[in-house]
Every structure is written in structure tokens, then in C-alpha cells.
Chain A
Amino acid sequence: MAYLSISNVTKQFGDTVVVDNFNLDIEKGEFVSFLGPSGCGKTTTLRMVAGFEIPTSGKILLDGKDITDKAPNQRNVGMIFQSYALFPNMTVSQNIGFGLRVRKESEATIKQRVDEMVGLINLEKHANKYPYQLSGGQQQRVSLARALANRPQVLLLDEPLSALDAKIRVSLRAEIRAIQKSLGITAIFVTHDQEEALSISDRIVVMNVGEMEQVGTPFEIYNFPKTRFVANFVGSLNTSDAEVVDPAKGFVSVDGVKFTAAEGTENRKKGDKVKIAIRPERLSFASEHKKANVVDATIENITFLGSVVRIQVKIGNTKFNMDTFNNPFLELPRVGSKEQVTCSKEAVLVLDE
């Protein structure tokens, strides 16, 4: 039995279905991200776990107990908001101790736990400051400590890093992950930033307009996207219309150029219209090392992106991006020249049109 189990949960606002038949089991200590575009129902799902919304139908079980209809203050669930939501009238210590005070813990326990939490987030020097005296990153750390001080059964984070600038965002997410691991706390993290989800999670739930598209480890989600939406949303991707030529052998044709796919054609017929998708980093020049697919291409454009060089090539009538690691000794082809480009069978994903 999973620690947190969300089963058949649907949420409607009026006639609009915002979350549709959501099913997810989360193990104790797991870090799960909800990833999806704006308005797909991530926050709503999280708020149902927190108790701020009641599902229209379905059940939520936490540690075997049905919490579906429990008030938020009756569940032991920690919540972190994008806007930090620190109490402006309280110092850092008072904010962190608030939940313990509400639960009528002894002053000694409160003091000890607050000190422990302040140490955990490295804000010893700021314990007596008010929220307005702290930077955004520090405020969000206080909010993390405040939620953790109560020893919640689940920690819910709703885009906690969105209001911060890029550098802090990356360092704070590592800090959140490290703290989560060291405490072994179960966490759900909502984000619409795919890089954030990939780097921080044990598992990712990719969502699209109220439905779950795919659930899997970051590795699975990135390398084996099951739907076109996932493939497009996570990582960058070349997609092209194609036609099945030989379902058994995995042959598909893009404007007459033949590709072989490892899987995805078995259940289709010759002549079926499909999409193929190839990640830019899976393409390379055939002059270096030939793989299963070798096709002719024309170099269209070269963009230097720092650690990566993005080369746009034209295969048939379709433009593909190809990423190679930057290397000062790399000899880049000229724009307009003809080259052979290669990729493995596994790199060619066959998706529904």
C-alpha cells in the first residue's frame, strides 16, 4: 500500500473539469513533481492533497487513512507557496515556531525545534529578523523551515522557486532536494519548468489539461516519452510528419527519406500517417561514427549556445536541429554544404499524429 494514494480523483469547477480521473501512488520519502503547462490542474491537484479543495469524486489516502474530506488544519501536511506567505508580523523564529505553538507544544520543544530548523536552512544570523528584512531566497527557506518544523507527513510545494532569479533558483532547488532526502520526507513539487522537474525528482507526472500524460522517472520521461505531448513538453525535440513504409521492419519515410525506428510501428499498417520525433542531441555527423540511420542533409544554420553548438540541417524538406558538444578543435561544416547525418534506431520515436 502506497504512503499517499490519490485515486480516481476528479475536480470540477461548475461545468469545467479541471482534474480528470487522476491516479497516483506515492511511496514514503519519494519526491514527485507535477509538470505541465499553465492551467493544466497542477495547483488544483496539490490543493486537494492539502485540503483547500475537496475533490468532486475520488479518494485521497494518506498512510492508509482517508483524508479526502478532512479540513486543511486537521491534516498533517506542509505547504510552500510561490509567494512565500510568511507572516509579516512575526520574526523568522516566530514564523517557524507558529505551527508548534498552534499545536500547543511546550516552550522547550518549540525552542529546540526552531533552533534545529534555523540551522537546517542556515539562517542562524537572521533568526530575529522580520520577513521584509530578508531576500526572496531567504524568505522561501524560512517558509520551508516553517513547514518542516511541524514534521508534516507530506510536503507540498507549489512553484516555490518561480519568484526567484535564475541562480538562486538552481541553488535553492538543490538545497530543497538535499533537505528532503536527509529527512526522508515525502514531497510533491509543482512546476512548469521541465529542467527543474528533471533535475530534482524521483518521479515526474506530466500533466496536460486535467489529465495525466505520463508518470515515470526523469530518465524515462526524457528518453522514452509515451505521447507526443510529453515528447514536446520535456526537452527540445525535432518532429516531422512521416509515413509507415514497413511496420515489421520499423521503416518510416520522411519526404521520401527512409528512417528505421526501433519500436512504435508494430501495431500500424503500411501507409499510416505518423509523427517521428528525434532529440537534437541524438543526431550526429556520420563522418565520426555511423549508426543505424544514415541520411543526407544540408547544413542550414549554425548557432553557438555555449557548451553546445546547435546545427540546423535539412533532411528531405524538413529542418532538424542537431546538438553537438562544443569543442575548440571541432571542425564545423560550412553553411550550405552537404553532409551525412546519423542516429540510432532507438533515437527515432514514432508517435501518433
Chain B
Amino acid sequence: MNFSSRLRRIPFWSWVWFILGTLYFLLPLYATLDFSLQMERDVIGLKAYEKAFEDKDFIETFTYSNLLAIATIVMSIILIVPTAYWIRLRLPEARRIVEFLTLMPFVVPAIILVFGLIRIYSSSVMIPFTDIVLIPPLTNYKFGTNILVVAGYMVLAMPYMYRSVDTGMRTVDVLTLTEAAQSLGASWFTIITRIILPNIRAALLSGALLTFAIVVGEVTLASFLGIDAFGPYLFLLGQHRAYEPAALSFVSFILTWIAMGLIQLVTGGQGQTTGAH
């Protein structure tokens, strides 16, 4: 069947909905772009973009948020890959419980998470009934706050990360590959790094990009923990300026699309390698 006859088979109403849906997404995007280009009176130009990118705060907060995102992604992978792997391998009964837990960020709003974090970690955490300090007050210094932020972001990103990883593991026969590797003498570390991770790389990438999107745009956790991240910066900018936020929104749209394209590219490549004859 060739492409045009396949197109013809799609019913009329499907086309209508498809076009309406596309317009729904594209019109605001177009409006944003149009607006962002009109910073100077009567001239279409990139002034708003220049201004936005020139801002020292922009560069600082954006870099900082990127670092937070990378830390979150790395820590999430270290936490979630072995967990999802172990559940598939040895604890299939625990699967539903863990899936439910990973969905908690959808049920409990970030504001509650951040207040919980502040309440517990703004004073020392003691071993119960003793004077031994287990964790010093984390909110009192920069590094401690960063740990809290990353931990919080790991929670927020968990639904996406866990699901991506778990789906990735479903496409390869994790159990048999593990046993094959074990009988060839491989240790757990070797199996995870040389067999499991490479075979779920597409899933990891999509999880990582989603995490990235969440962390870079996040406002609640960042403002309440008082860090100079990109989310709060964008929020403030939106309250005080008109054209620059539009420019940055458009840029972030484009970045997201590039990211999606990348996921498609990598996933497409892997879809091939997993299919056997």
C-alpha cells in the first residue's frame, strides 16, 4: 500500500479534528512569536531575544537550572534503573505498589512536598531518643539546599522517569539476558552497565528529556527553597516585562521540539534492534 492511498483511507472527520487540534497548538505559538518580534515600534526584529539573552540573571539562572537538571537526571537514573530492574527480576509482586508510589507527585502537589521538606530539614534530624545528629539543618547552607532541591525534583520527575525505564525494560527480555550474562561470569554492576543500560538507552533519553523539561521550568520548589533558578526568574520576568518572556517561551518551545525529535530518532533506531527475525 502506498502513502497516498493510506492517506485516503483516513476518514474525513479525523482530518477535521486533526486540523483543529493542530491549530489549537500552533495559533498561540504563532501569536507568541509574532508578539516577541515587535519589541521595537513598527519594526519586526529580534530585539526581544537580544535583550532576553543579554540579561546576566538569565544566563546565571539558566546555567544553574541546567546543572540541577543534570544532577536530577543522573541521580534519578542511579536510583530508578536498579529499582525497576530488581522489581522486574525478583519482585514482580511489588510492581503495583511501586507504580502507585511513583504516581504520588500527581496526587500530592509540589507545594506540600516543599513544605514537608522545609519542615523536616530546616532543623537537625536526630536519631530518635538520642542527641546524635543524623543530618544537620540542610536549608541553612547552599549545598544542603541544593541536595533538597535535587531530591525534590527527583520526586517530581519520578512518574516520568520510572515509567520510561519500566517501558524500556519491557521491550527487552531482562530476565533471560541477565541470566545469560551471569552464566558468562558477569557481576551485577557489569550487567546493569553493559547490558541493561545500553538496551534501554532510548527510554532513558526520553525520561531524561522529560525530567529536564520539568526541572528547568519548575517554580514552586525553587521559590520556596529560595534558590535562583530559571523557573522563578521566568516568572518574575513575566510580571515585569512583556516581550522578553514571549521570546523565551518561543525558544523553549523550539527546544522542546528538538528534544522530541531526538527521542524519536533514538527510539526509531532502537525499535529496529529489538525486533528479531
Chain A interface (Cβ < 8 Å from any Cβ of B): 50-52, 71-73, 75-79, 81, 83-89, 98-99, 102-103, 130-132, 134-136, 139, 143, 146-147, 150, 156
Contact of B183 among A73, A88, A103, A134 (CB under 8 A): A73
- Is the Cβ of B180 less than 8 Å from the Cβ of A81? yes
Of the listed stretches B121-129, B185-193, B226-234, chain A binds B185-193
Given contact pairs A73-B186, A102-B190, A88 touches B181 in the complex (Cβ within 8 A): no
Beta-carbon nearest neighbor of A134 in chain B: B277
Min CB–CB distance B149 → chain A (angstroms): 34
- Is the Cβ of A87 less than 8 Å from the Cβ of B187? no
- Is the Cβ of A85 less than 8 Å from the Cβ of B184? no
- Is the Cβ of B185 less than 8 Å from the Cβ of A89? no
Contact of B195 among A79, A87, A134 (CB under 8 A): A87
Min CB–CB distance B225 → chain A (angstroms): 39
Contact of B277 among A75, A76, A79, A136 (CB under 8 A): A136
Contact of B180 among A76, A85, A103 (CB under 8 A): A85
- Is the Cβ of A78 less than 8 Å from the Cβ of B198? no
In the bound complex, residues from chain A placing their C-beta under 8 Å from that of B176 are: 81, 83, 85
**What are 20 of the A-B contact pairs (CB < 8 Å)?**
A72-B182, A73-B187, A77-B183, A78-B183, A78-B184, A79-B179, A79-B183, A81-B179, A83-B173, A87-B177, A88-B273, A99-B184, A102-B181, A131-B276, A132-B272, A132-B275, A135-B277, A136-B277, A146-B180, A150-B184
Q: Kindly list 13 other residue pairs between chains A and B, CB separation below 8 angstroms, not including A50-B179, A98-B194, A102-B187.
A: A50-B183, A52-B179, A72-B179, A73-B184, A79-B180, A85-B176, A88-B172, A89-B198, A98-B186, A99-B184, A103-B185, A130-B273, A136-B277
Task: Check if B36 is an interface residue, CB within 8 A of chain A.
Answer: no
Min CB–CB distance A109 → chain B (angstroms): 15
Given contact pairs A89-B198, A135-B277, A139-B276, A102 touches B172 in the complex (Cβ within 8 A): no
Given contact pairs A72-B179, A131-B276, A132-B277, A85 touches B173 in the complex (Cβ within 8 A): yes
Task: Check if B252 is an interface residue, CB within 8 A of chain A.
Answer: no
Q: Decide if the interface of chain B is mainly helix, strand, loop or mixed.
A: helix
Report how far A77 CA is from B179 CA in the complex, Å.
12
Min CB–CB distance B159 → chain A (angstroms): 27
Could you count the A-B residue pairs with CB atoms below 8 Å apart for me: how many are there?
A: 85
Among B262-277, those with CB < 8 Å from A are 272-277
- Is the Cβ of A88 less than 8 Å from the Cβ of B274? yes
Given contact pairs A73-B185, A134-B277, A150-B185, A88 touches B179 in the complex (Cβ within 8 A): no
- Is the Cβ of B276 less than 8 Å from the Cβ of A136? yes
Question: Which 8 A-B residue pairings sit nearest by Cβ, starting from the closest?
Answer: A99-B184, A79-B183, A85-B180, A89-B198, A72-B182, A85-B176, A102-B185, A73-B182
Report how far A99 CA is from B179 CA in the complex, Å.
13
Min CB–CB distance A45 → chain B (angstroms): 15
In the bound complex, residues from chain A placing their C-beta under 8 Å from that of B272 are: 132
Beta-carbon nearest neighbor of B184 in chain A: A99
In the bound complex, residues from chain B placing their C-beta under 8 Å from that of A71 are: 182
Min CB–CB distance A90 → chain B (angstroms): 8
Among B182-216, those with CB < 8 Å from A are 182-187, 190, 194-195, 198-199
Report how far A139 CA is from B180 CA in the complex, Å.
14
Report how far A281 CA is from B195 CA in the complex, Å.
52
Report how far A222 CA is from B61 CA in the complex, Å.
80
Report how far A77 CA is from B185 CA in the complex, Å.
9
In the bound complex, residues from chain A placing their C-beta under 8 Å from that of B273 are: 88-89, 130-132
Beta-carbon nearest neighbor of B272 in chain A: A132
* A85, A86, A143, most chain B CB atoms within 10 A: A85
In the bound complex, residues from chain B placing their C-beta under 8 Å from that of A143 are: 180
